[in-house]
Amino acid sequence: MYEDYRLIYDHHTHTIYSHGKGDIVDNVKVARQKGIKEIAITDHGPGHHFYGLDKKKLPEMRKKIEELKVIYPDVKVLLGVEANIVTMGNFLDITVEELKDYDIVLAGYHYGVSHGHVFDNYICSHFGFPSGSRQALEILNTDMTIGALYENDIAILTHPGDKGPFNIKEIAKVCAETNTLIEINNKHKHLTVEEIKMIEKYDVKFVVSSDAHKPEDVGCVGKSLQRAREAGIDFSRIANIELS
């Protein structure tokens, strides 16, 4: 259905270093098989109580990536992180100084962290809220996301709109200003078709990502592209797609 495109990179994949199923090598092998020239390993930030990465393991991850560069010189492998957006400090669960430990930094909102309005967002997403409270929560969520975008060099904002109410328009404007790619995630339903249409008029660039938690899912972006197509955006606005 989408044979007319090539995926240039998949910058959002997970491994056993958070709660993915495969090791780094497994994700890299699948990327090679699928002809993808660049992949990022972006396990969950250390602030996640259940499956955040252990910072002490970073040298081990880096070593594995350096070894893979020798074995598979045809694939560029980046050591990244999917940091958690929180309400404290620089609005991420890694400090500004720690950003340099990674080749690429993604950020997204998740449950399982402290200081992220987790209880309210969980209740809101699963059971609904009276409208007044929902609006107040949307402001808090939007503020922490915008704070994270302004205070850190974030390459990709992952699945915005997932796991709580967010003002996608305000967030997209700041993504455009800070040169942050806004993600159409293949695993989660956000950005939705409606959300893509809502922000289409802003000067924001999109990215499609597999968010693979199993090696075989690396490079799978079919659902993301389907939503992009339904929303009617020009594929030239998707940073990691090359049309043939």
Interacting residues toward Zn ion by CB under 5 A: 82, 108, 158, 211
Report in angstroms how near the CB of residue 158 gets to Zn ion at its nearest: 5
Give the separation between CA 111 and CA 50, rounded to whole angstroms: 10
Q: Which of 86, 81, 135 is nearest to 110 (CA)?
A: 86
Least distance (Å) from Zn ion to the CB of residue 153?
19
Q: How, if at all, do strands 241-243 and 5-7 pair? A: antiparallel
What percent of the residues of the chain are helix, what percent strand, and what percent coil, each to the nearest 5? 40, 20, 40
CB neighbourhood size of 54 (10 A): 12
| Nearest distance from C-beta of residue 93 to Zn ion, angstroms | 12
d(CA 29, CA 39) in angstroms, rounded, equals 10
Q: Supply the minimum distance, in Å, between the C-beta of residue 159 and Zn ion.
A: 6
Please, what is the minimum distance in Å from the beta carbon of residue 188 to Zn ion?
7
Please list, in sequence order, all residues whose beta carbon lies within 8 angstroms of the beta carbon of residue 119, skipping any fewer than 6 positions away: none
The answer to whether 208 touches 240, Cβ cutoff 8 Å, is yes
Both tokens of 68, joined, read 């893979």
